Amino acid sequence: MGVILGEDGLLYDDSIPLSLFYHVISGPNSRYEKKYSERVNFPELDVRGRTSSIARTGEIQGRPKGLFVQAQEKWPSLECVSLTLANLRTLKRSFCERASSSGICFIHSSLEQRQVKKVIHINQGEQFPPYNSQTAYLFDIVSPGLYDFRWENEWRVKGNLPVTSQNVAFVLTEESDFGGFSLDLSLVPIHHILSEPYILIPKDYDGLIDLTFDVPFLSSLLITNPQRFFEKFLEENYLDYLFQPLIEGLINDYGGHISSIDKLHEQLLSISFSINRTEDWSDFQEAFLEYAYLSKFTSDAYWSMFGDVVVEEEVNLDWFRTKVRLLRDSLINTSLHILRPEIESMLGY
């Protein structure tokens, strides 16, 4: 593909790992919280409880960070929300550091509208560039010889960060009840992740939650255990996307050795989705994340939320739909490439 500028404003380059903006929802036992508990929202809650609170309020609350912490008495209202611009490797490390596998992926352009800025790290003892009440949230001190967190590629948004249909691409979750594996990205109402068994009557929420906010929920096994994710992916997508090309390919290649098409059909319907070979899953992982991210832009319903902006900016829906179709085809072909040798071995071909 080379290098192209997408309709979503992202630069696509085959040689550069895919990076997306995530807010990782940290767990109460993480190293970060043991050191910076004053910077955490809902310290008494576990990851699911914190995600529930975000769903209920419709935003991530900003907290004092960086020079904010030293300047709280002088500038008590200055708070921000942290995000990581992460690729597969750094996102997995963020999950480990935060003792969590849950995070919200935000649409880049929505963060640009909120003037998201990259954190500037200054070695302890070095002179700070000039800063004031409007820029102090961008600076953090790195202590030589101690933990160096520059790998996080941290960015910050001043104030609270809304969590809405307009700015969330998808949610990664470790909750098996909600995490998806399917190419048919099912939209799950975000209020379904609430911890308690609420009766969903809008007036009970006093307008705090948008019950129409549906987003794709992906299983974070995609990051933490890609082989297990892939096996579940095969199970979810087998009949709709993989069965027919598999049986046609086997008939074309081994037709003379197949005694009964009906028997082959039965065998292919009862296969195991356990993969017994070592794979580099990074291409599959990136393709699925990009597929989920760009799928957001293929819906007329998504653009209708912006009113006349679609007409004004002439959004090219065909570009998004073509790109998503190519990514879907790539995921299917990758699956067939990995699955077929397993099936041939099972059938004795």
pLDDT in tens, 204-240: 444 444 445 577 889 999 999 999 999 999 999 999 9
Does 197 or 137 have the greater pLDDT score? 137
Neighbours of 80 (CB within 10 A): 24
Q: Rounded CA gap, 125 and 34, in Å?
A: 25
Does 148 or 284 have the greater pLDDT score? 284
Work out the end-to-end distance of the chain between its first and last CA atoms, rounded to an integer number of angstroms.
35
DSSP codes joined into one string, 239-271: IIIIHHHHHHHHHHHHGGG-S-HHHHHHHHHT-
3-state secondary structure of 134: coil
Q: Rounded CA gap, 174 and 154, in Å?
A: 22
pLDDT in tens, 59-89: 898 887 766 555 555 666 678 899 999 999 9
Does 313 or 111 have the greater pLDDT score? 111
Give residue 327's pLDDT: 94
- pTM to 2 decimals? 0.84
Q: What is the rounded average pLDDT of the residues 145-154?
A: 75
Does 340 or 214 have the greater pLDDT score? 340
Give residue 311's pLDDT: 44
332 neighbors 240 (Cβ within 8 angstroms): no
Buried b (16+ CB within 10 A) or exposed e, 275-307: eeeeeebeebbbbbbbbbbbbbbbeeebbeeee
Lowest average pLDDT, out of 92-106, 189-203, 263-277, 301-315, goes to 189-203
